[in-house]
Amino acid sequence: MPVSRPRRYWLVKSEPDVFSFDDLIAAPQHTTGWDGVRNYQARNFMRDDMKLGDLVFFYHSSTDPAGIAGVAEIVREAYPDATALDPAHAHFDARGTPDAPTWYQVDVRARERFTQLVTLAELRESPGLDGMELLRRGSRLSVQPVSAEHWKLITARWTTVPV
DNA sequence: GCCAACGTTGGC
DNA sequence: GCCAACGTTGGC
């Protein structure tokens, strides 16, 4: 048995025009592979630190308004991102091989939806979220950790319903 | 559409 | 190893 560790919390970004939280809810088992990440820091979080049962805020970026749409759960730990190994795929990256993949993904499953989008503006106005990576000026990281304190504050302040 | 911030690439 | 150029992200 793996050694248990406290559940960790994360935030992932997606452009809803490409893949929205509703798309995740509509997917089989409310689950999708989080492929296409091509940033090393984001990859490292997925490959090394995201574990089964960790919870994830699903954030809608590049939309108006931007904000957190729901909560998902890690249901499969890191495995190679097949889209990076497929020459026909738009996200192909010739650096990797099946034996030594460069890019990884996890699987996420939708759990809860916020009754209203928690907008970026609301988060910025909300006391207690100082230091949250999402709110940092110039923050672009598409997979990022969320502290337990920030997670509890957000989930206490805004209402969710099961998907 | 604009543009600041950021990560990556590649010449040296 | 430095750093300018470039492409991308993402709020506004």
Secondary structure (DSSP) of chain A: -PPP----EEEEEE-TTTS-HHHHHHSGGGEEE------HHHHHIIIII--TT-EEEEEE-SSSS-EEEEEEEEEEEEEE-HHHH-TTSTT--TT--SSS-S-EEEEEEEEEEEEEEEEHHHHHHSTT-TT-GGGSTT---SEEEE-HHHHHHHHHHS-EEE-
Domains and CATH numbers, chain A: 9-158 (3.10.590.10)
By DSSP bridging, strand A9-14 and strand A55-60 are: parallel
Span A105-123, pLDDT tens digits: 999 999 999 999 999 999 9
Share of chain A above pLDDT 70, in %: 99
Span A51-108, pLDDT tens digits: 999 999 999 999 999 999 999 999 999 999 988 877 777 787 778 788 888 899 999 9
Q: Looking at residue A2, what is its pLDDT?
A: 63
The reply to whether the predicted model has a pTM over 0.85 is yes
Q: Looking at residue A132, what is its pLDDT?
A: 96
Question: What is chain A's mean pLDDT, rounded?
Answer: 93
Distance A64 CA to C12 C1' (A): 10
- For nucleotide C12, give the residue with the nearest CA to its C1': A64
| Integer Cα distance of A78 and A50 in angstroms | 8
Q: Looking at residue A96, what is its pLDDT?
A: 78
Distance A161 CA to B8 C1' (A): 41
Neighbouring C-beta atoms of residue A94, cutoff 10 Å:
9
A40 CB and strand B closer than 7 A: yes
A152 CB and strand B closer than 7 A: no
- For nucleotide B8, give the residue with the nearest CA to its C1': A39
